[in-house]
């Protein structure tokens, strides 16, 4: 499995603000404002993370920068136990072929 190639393919599909907004709303269940703001932490009173024009995200609350949806889900939300499992799930949602390599 060429993880760099897979990640580049993921980035190419989610390379703009609207695509990331739609992905978050439709696949993750995150409410995103019209301006591209959303909450990263459940205890946030107001959305502090913003989707940039290139599809990356900046969390003004913590100062964190997420270069793509994979880093947002893995590093920001800690939604998956490993980076490969995060990438596999995103690939499944984007209908990108994922080659399993179980050893």
State the pLDDT at residue 102: 53
What confidence score (pLDDT) does residue 101 get? 61
Domains of the chain by residue range = 3-94
What does the alpha-carbon distance between residue 43 and residue 39 come to, in Å, rounded to a whole number? 9
Q: What's the pLDDT tens digit per position in 29-86?
A: 999 999 999 998 888 889 999 999 999 999 998 899 999 999 999 999 999 999 999 9
Average pLDDT over every residue of 14-33:
96
- Separation of alpha carbons 29 and 82, rounded Å: 21
Per-residue pLDDT, 99: 74
Average pLDDT over residues 9-15: 96
Does the domain at 3-94 match CATH 3.90.580? Answer given as: yes
Classify burial at 100, counting beta carbons within 10 Å of its beta carbon; exposed 0-12, middle 13-18, buried 19 or more. Answer: exposed
């Amino acid at each position: 499995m060429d993880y760099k190639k897979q990640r580049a393919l993921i980035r190419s599909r989610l390379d703009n603000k609207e695509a990331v907004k739609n992905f978050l709303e439709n696949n993750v269940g995150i409410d995103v404002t019209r301006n591209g703001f959303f909450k990263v932490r459940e205890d946030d009173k107001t959305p502090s993370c913003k989707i940039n024009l290139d599809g990356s995200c900046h969390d003004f609350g913590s100062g964190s920068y997420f270069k793509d949806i994979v880093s947002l889900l893995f590093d920001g939300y800690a939604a998956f136990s490993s980076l490969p499992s995060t990438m596999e799930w995103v690939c499944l949602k984007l209908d990108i072929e994922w080659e399993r390599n179980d050893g």
